């Protein structure tokens, strides 16, 4: 297995799925041996201030500090990780998807409609968990209640 994952050309959902698979495969292939550092190449965005993948990947890694050690070498287009334990499979990522979707304030109806295939109970449970974790904030705007990711 190569120790480099290049995420150029991916959207955020594809990049996250590729990263989780890459990370978890490294854990599996190590079979208890020391896992080498993995290089994630994501670029730094056309503005040079950080693109979507850079920002969201680093935020995701920050939320999963127990499963991965992160290092930066001064190159904003690369992130180095050392897997510690497995990350949740992408199929279990409803909460991450909701956080990403709510980067702009959304109504509950919009959120449940967007993720309807998960079923309303699962979406509502995910929203409540995100509120408790402080990752999603409820904002009242007139007669509408909106949810925004933090």
**pLDDT category, 146, cuts 50, 70, 90?**
very high
What is the spatial distance between Cα 43 and Cα 32, in angstroms, rounded to a whole number? 31
Q: Is residue 88 part of a domain?
A: no
pTM (2 decimals)? 0.66
Residue 135, domain CATH: 1.10.10.10
15, 68: one domain: yes
The phi and psi torsions of 93 (rounded to 5 degrees) equal -100, 25
pLDDT tens figures, 43-65: 887 676 668 888 889 988 998 89
Q: Are 25 and 45 found together in one domain?
A: yes
* pLDDT above 90 coverage of the chain, percent: 45
What is the extent of the structural domain holding 97?
Answer: 93-149
Residue 121 lies in a domain: yes
Residue 2 confidence (pLDDT)? 62
Based on the domain organization, do 14 and 70 belong to the same domain? Answer: yes
In a domain, 24, yes or no: yes
Check whether residue 75 and residue 132 sit in a common domain: no
If one counts the domains in the chain, the total is: 2
Mean predicted lDDT score pLDDT of the chain? 87
**CA distance readout (Å), 110 to 36, 119, 127, 133, 145:** 42, 13, 12, 21, 11
Instruction: Specify whether 78 is located in the same domain as 25.
Output: yes
> Across-strand partners of 82?
69
In a domain, 103, yes or no: yes
Is residue 52 within 8 Å of residue 45, measured between CB atoms?
yes
The CATH number of residue 20's host domain is: 3.30.1370.110
């Amino acid at each position: 297995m190569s120790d480099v994952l290049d995420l150029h050309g991916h959207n955020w959902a594809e990049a996250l799925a590729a990263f989780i698979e890459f990370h978890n495969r490294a854990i599996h292939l190590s079979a208890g041996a020391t896992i080498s550092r993995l290089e994630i190449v994501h670029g730094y965005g056309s503005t040079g201030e950080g693109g979507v993948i850079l920002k969201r990947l680093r935020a995701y890694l920050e939320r999963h500090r127990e499963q991965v050690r992160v290092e930066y070498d001064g190159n904003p287009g690369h992130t180095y990780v050392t897997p510690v334990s497995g990350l949740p499979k992408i199929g279990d990522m409803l909460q991450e998807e909701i956080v990403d979707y709510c980067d702009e304030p959304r109504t509950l109806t919009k959120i449940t409609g967007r993720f309807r295939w998960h079923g309303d109970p699962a979406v509502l449970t995910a929203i409540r968990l995100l509120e408790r974790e402080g990752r999603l904030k409820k904002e009242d705007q007139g007669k509408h209640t909106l949810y925004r990711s933090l």
